[in-house]
Amino acid sequence: MAHHKSALKRIRQTRTHMLYNRVHKKAMREAVKAVRLATDASVAREALTKAFSILDRAAAKGVIKTNTAANRKSSLALHVRKLENA
């Protein structure tokens, strides 16, 4: 167990940030999964806009890096484009 006041505070902060990040990462995973599982192009397009919003928000809050968000958005857009062309 930590013996210093600052170490105890860091433990509290880490727990808070961990829970905060867990919520946002779960939302990201669910949004990406919704796009990937969509079989209809119009449904996939709607899910894509929601996923873009969630990924941008997570990047802005520092849960993931901006380049990671951009890479995931690009991958999802490519997936939806393939659905539209098929």
- What pTM, to 2 d.p., does this model score? 0.87
Parent domain of 47: 5-85
Based on the structure, what is the number of domains in the chain?
A: 1
User: DSSP states of 1-40 as a string?
Assistant: ---SHHHHHHHHHHHHHHHHHHHHHHHHHHHHHHHHH--S
| CATH number for 29 | 1.20.58.110
Predicted confidence (pLDDT) per residue in 9-63, tens digit: 999 999 999 999 999 999 999 999 999 999 999 999 999 999 999 999 999 999 9
Q: Which helix (H) or strand (E) holds 48?
A: helix 41-60
